């Protein structure tokens, strides 16, 4: 995912509390760190859940966790991210100023959402902030990630249809409700480390693959658009 010496910034955002931002941010950071990459997990939530997770940890750190629950994330991140291949940001619930700052700092935004109508309605706030930010960051990618899906159930049609009204994609991989995610977190660990062959670990690895693909598609589009512009300019200059 790393983009030529510049860290890729992936954020988990949803102003609704308890959607799974911290759980997915920590697990995705663990998958990225397991590849040998240098990963920074930025905790932008004043509750400090990701920091608490790292304090509860008894094993050697798999990645660095830094707290910055301020609306200056977008200003400070270029300096903080210098030595890293990936930055994963765990966003706060509610606070719109910090969410805005995290959006401006991000290359890719994943919005965890539980597959219930109440949760789907509640993503409206963060989707609006992303749409506002696209005025400045036209190519900013954002996608829904279904979290806490009940194993062996289909996502309800009402949920799929409601998500479609937001005009953002939904990743094919859903992360299911699994007690192992909460249990491993309580120990400052992850299912990636505790149960690497489990279905839960596989779900998170698939999630990382899909996010990586999405990021690279964006890179490809930037590249081809830049090339198209260059060709057009070159063509005019050559006339
Ligand atoms: N896929 C899952 N399976 C089981 N439990 C989960 C799953 N995802 C999240 N949880 C649990 O749900 C609760 C809320 O998750 P989490 O803290 O990750 O959400 P959050 O969006 O970061 O919340 P907040 O908005 O308060 O920061 C936690 O107790 C967590 O362990
Ligand atoms: Mg959290």
Query: How big, in percent rounded to 5, are the helix, strand and coil portions of the chain?
Result: 50, 15, 35
Report CA(27)–ligand 1 centroid distance (Å): 12
Rounded-to-integer distance, Cα 60 and Cα 43, Å: 19
Residue 1 inside a domain? The answer is: no
Rounded-to-integer distance, Cα 73 and Cα 88, Å: 12
Residue 72 inside a domain? The answer is: yes
Residue 39 inside a domain? The answer is: yes
Report CA(23)–ligand 2 centroid distance (Å): 7
Ligand 1 atom 3: residue of nearest CA: 177
Determine the pLDDT at residue 206: 97
Report CA(64)–ligand 2 centroid distance (Å): 17
Rounded-to-integer distance, Cα 147 and Cα 228, Å: 38
Coil/strand/helix, residue 110: strand
Pairing of strands 8-12, 108-113: parallel
CATH number for the domain harbouring residue 157? 3.40.50.300
Report CA(124)–ligand 2 centroid distance (Å): 18
Residue 2 inside a domain? The answer is: no
**Of 28, 7, 22, 153, which Cα lies nearest the Cα of 90?**
22
Determine the pLDDT at residue 236: 29
Cβ neighbours of residue 56 closer than 8 Å, sequence gap 6 or more: 186, 187, 188
- Per-residue confidence in pLDDT tens, the chain, 239 aa: 544 457 899 999 999 999 999 999 999 999 999 999 999 999 999 999 999 999 999 988 899 999 999 999 999 999 999 999 999 999 999 989 999 999 999 999 999 999 998 999 999 999 999 999 999 898 899 999 999 999 999 888 888 889 999 989 999 999 999 999 999 999 999 999 999 999 999 999 999 999 999 998 855 554 444 444 443 333 222 22
**For the CA of 179, the nearest atom of ligand 1:** 4
**For the CA of 147, the nearest atom of ligand 1:** 1
C-alpha distances (whole Å) from 139 to each of 4, 112, 135, 148, 216 are 18, 20, 10, 29, 12
Ligand 1 atom 31: residue of nearest CA: 182
Structural domain including 114 reads: 8-238
**For the CA of 148, the nearest atom of ligand 1:** 1
Ligand 1 atom 16: residue of nearest CA: 20
Residue 38 inside a domain? The answer is: yes
Report the domain count for the chain: 1
Rounded-to-integer distance, Cα 24 and Cα 26, Å: 6
Residue 212 inside a domain? The answer is: yes
Ligand 1 atom 15: residue of nearest CA: 20
Determine the pLDDT at residue 229: 43
User: What is this structure's pTM?
Assistant: 0.91
Residue 3 inside a domain? The answer is: no
Report CA(28)–ligand 2 centroid distance (Å): 14
Which of 43, 113, 144, 182 best tests ligand 1's pocket when mutated (most atoms within 8 Å of CB)? Answer: 182
Determine the pLDDT at residue 60: 87
Residue 40 inside a domain? The answer is: yes
């Amino acid at each position: 995912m790393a983009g030529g010496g510049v860290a890729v910034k992936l954020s988990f955002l949803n102003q609704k509390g308890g959607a799974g931002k911290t759980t997915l941010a920590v697990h995705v950071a663990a998958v990225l760190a397991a590849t040998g990459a240098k990963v920074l997990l930025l905790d932008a939530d004043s509750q400090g859940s990701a920091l608490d997770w790292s304090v509860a940890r008894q094993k050697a750190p798999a990645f660095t966790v830094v707290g910055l629950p301020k609306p200056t994330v977008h200003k400070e991140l270029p300096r903080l991210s210098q030595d890293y291949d990936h930055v994963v940001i765990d966003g706060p619930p509610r606070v719109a100023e910090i969410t805005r700052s995290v959006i401006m700092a991000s290359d890719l935004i994943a919005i965890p959402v539980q597959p219930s109508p109440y949760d789907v309605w509640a993503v409206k706030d963060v989707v609006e902030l992303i749409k506002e930010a696209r005025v400045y960051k036209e190519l900013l990618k954002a996608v829904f990630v279904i979290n806490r899906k009940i194993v062996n159930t289909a996502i309800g049609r009402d949920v799929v249809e409601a998500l479609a009204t937001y005009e953002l994609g939904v990743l094919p991989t859903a992360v299911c409700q699994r007690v192992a995610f909460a249990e491993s977190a309580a120990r400052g660990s992850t299912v990636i480390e505790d149960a690497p062959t489990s279905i839960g670990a596989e779900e998170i690895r698939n999630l990382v693959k899909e996010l990586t693909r999405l990021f690279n598609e964006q890179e490809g589009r930037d590249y081809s658009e830049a090339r198209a512009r260059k060709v057009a300019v070159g063509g005019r200059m050559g006339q």
